[in-house]
Structure 1
Amino acid sequence: MALRIMDRAPDFTAETTQGRISFHEWLGDSWGMLFSHPKDFTPVCTTELGYLAKCEPEFTRRDCKIIGLSEDSVEDHNRWLADIKDVTGQEVHYPIIADTRLEIAKLYDMLPADAGTSAEGRTATNNQTVRTVYLIGPDKLIRAMLVYPMSTGRNFDEVLRLLDSCQLTAEYKVATPANWSQGEDVIIVPSLSDNDARQEFPGGWTTVKPYMRVVPQPEHT
């Protein structure tokens, strides 16, 4: 069954570059970002893991744990980490899951059920659909998903912006407009009546259209 936003993120146990984990237990009460890769030693993914290592402190500041996944062994992952440091100058400190039996890729609907049970002999092209970013809330619900082709490196600055929006809108009855950035005005959700909105936003709002009420961003706690 295909995963959708606000579905519960499937739990699993797996070997990683930092030992065996149970995913939900590992997440604890934090937000999480699970991002997947079709194969180790692929050029675009090498740049991605390096850039993410550079901006990991920004995710930590937002109480969001990072975990990668690739369809190869822990041994291959560890060898790849040396290449990532050599190419990008960054040392990866977050764990990378070894999904050698393709179980997690299937669990998260990134590969079809008939894809087989081994990464042995498979290529990046065979696994090209294993290129998804999942943002997961402390309640273990999927808050956002981004899917990229192998030819396009992911923009983790945009993922941080998306995380800011997800965290803010989980706390307050607001939505963020196009190209919103932290600190800019937000929109009161249409489902909130004016009477209830006065309780939530006592400072008032600007009515752009009857369905569009704009307020300064609430302070995210």
Structure 2
Amino acid sequence: MAVYLGQKAPGFIVNTTKGPLDLESYKGKWVILFSHPADFTPVCTTEFMEFARRYEEFKKMNVELIGLSVDSIYSHIQWMKDIREKFGVEIPFPVIADINKDVAREYNLMDEKTGSTVRGVFIIDPNMVVRLMIYYPAETGRNIDEIMRSVKALKMNWNRKLATPVNWQPGGDGIVSAPGTLEEAIKREKNGSKTWYLKYESVE
């Protein structure tokens, strides 16, 4: 079953490094579900440490992080312990042990050739709707700044009903939806817009 933007995120009840987790219990929050190819791998380790360092920033934005791979719970635990002991970084978010590959397959996160999860990111809104999907190759680490920027852009659309222009950064102007009728388009231009289909609005 394919997962598409704008559809309800498939639910699941799973075992994690923080105990049982029911996705439905996160309703009302933003969720970042991200998968990694394997425990004890170098790129994934750097990503987990950076997600951990930015964890409080995400929490302040009402965002919950959930990691996932098809490794066992014991592998996850040992990897988390190793990161803490070798790098001094505590992993504060749950990591799903998807040993049956059910969640990975439901979210199109399986590399069936290798039997491992791919490097993917899903952003799910408070109504449990999938709002963003990003896939990276195994050798390319994620940009956490871009993931956080994307969350802020989605939240502005959620709160202000404004879209964001190219290269938007938090604090920048948003874009008002284009008019749906000829009358509205003409009215917008008469009110000083350079063109009827593109209108910026300050978020301040």
Distance 1:23 1:72 in 2: 19
Paired position in structure 2 for 1:34:
33
Paired position in structure 1 for 2:195:
209
Matched, 1:189 2:177: yes
**Does structure 2 retain, via aligned residues, the 8 Å contact 1:53–1:93?**
yes
**Does structure 1 retain, via aligned residues, the 8 Å contact 2:171–2:203?**
yes
Query: Match of 2:7, as an amino acid?
Result: D
Q: TM-score if structure 2 supplies the norm length?
A: 0.89
Distance 1:11 1:65 in 2: 15
Distance 2:139 2:44 in 1: 10
Query: Match of 2:200, as an amino acid?
Result: V
From 149, 154, 175, the equivalent of 1:161 is 149
Residue identity (%): 36
Matched, 1:79 2:65: no
Query: Match of 2:197, as an amino acid?
Result: Y
- Residues 103-139 of structure 1, C-alpha deviation per residue, up to 9 Å, x if partnerless? 1111112227xx4xxxxxx9xx442x52110000010
Residue 65 of structure 1: SS of its match in structure 2?
strand
Distance 1:146 1:87 in 2: 30
Distance 2:87 2:151 in 1: 24
RMSD: 2.3
**Does structure 1 retain, via aligned residues, the 8 Å contact 2:80–2:91?**
yes
The residue correspondences of 1:23-102 to structure 2 (distance < 5 A) are 23-25=23-25, 27-86=26-85, 88-102=87-101
Distance 2:203 2:139 in 1: 36
Matched, 1:151 2:139: yes
> In structure 2, do the counterparts of structure 1 residues 83 and 174 end up closer, same or farther at CA, with 3 Å as the change threshold?
same
Residue 66 of structure 2: SS of its match in structure 1?
strand
Of 183-192 and 144-153, more deviation after overlay is shown by 183-192
The residue correspondences of 1:164-179 to structure 2 (distance < 5 A) are 164-179=152-167
Distance 1:81 1:56 in 2: 15
> In structure 2, do the counterparts of structure 1 residues 215 and 141 end up closer, same or farther at CA, with 3 Å as the change threshold?
same
Gaps of 5+ in 2: none
**Does structure 2 retain, via aligned residues, the 8 Å contact 1:51–1:90?**
no
Structure 1 residue 217: deviation in Å? 1.5
Q: TM-score if structure 1 supplies the norm length?
A: 0.83
- Residues 164-211 of structure 1, C-alpha deviation per residue, up to 9 Å, x if partnerless? 00011022231101111111111101146786xx9xxxxxx8624221
Paired position in structure 2 for 1:19:
19
Distance 2:97 2:81 in 1: 16
Residue 212 of structure 1: SS of its match in structure 2?
coil
Paired position in structure 2 for 1:118:
none
- Residues 73-132 of structure 1, C-alpha deviation per residue, up to 9 Å, x if partnerless? 1111011012323454321110000001111111112227xx4xxxxxx9xx442x5211
Paired position in structure 2 for 1:202:
none
Gaps of 5+ in 1: 116-121, 199-204
Residue 21 of structure 2: SS of its match in structure 1?
strand
Aligned residues: 199
Paired position in structure 1 for 2:10:
10
Distance 2:179 2:82 in 1: 50
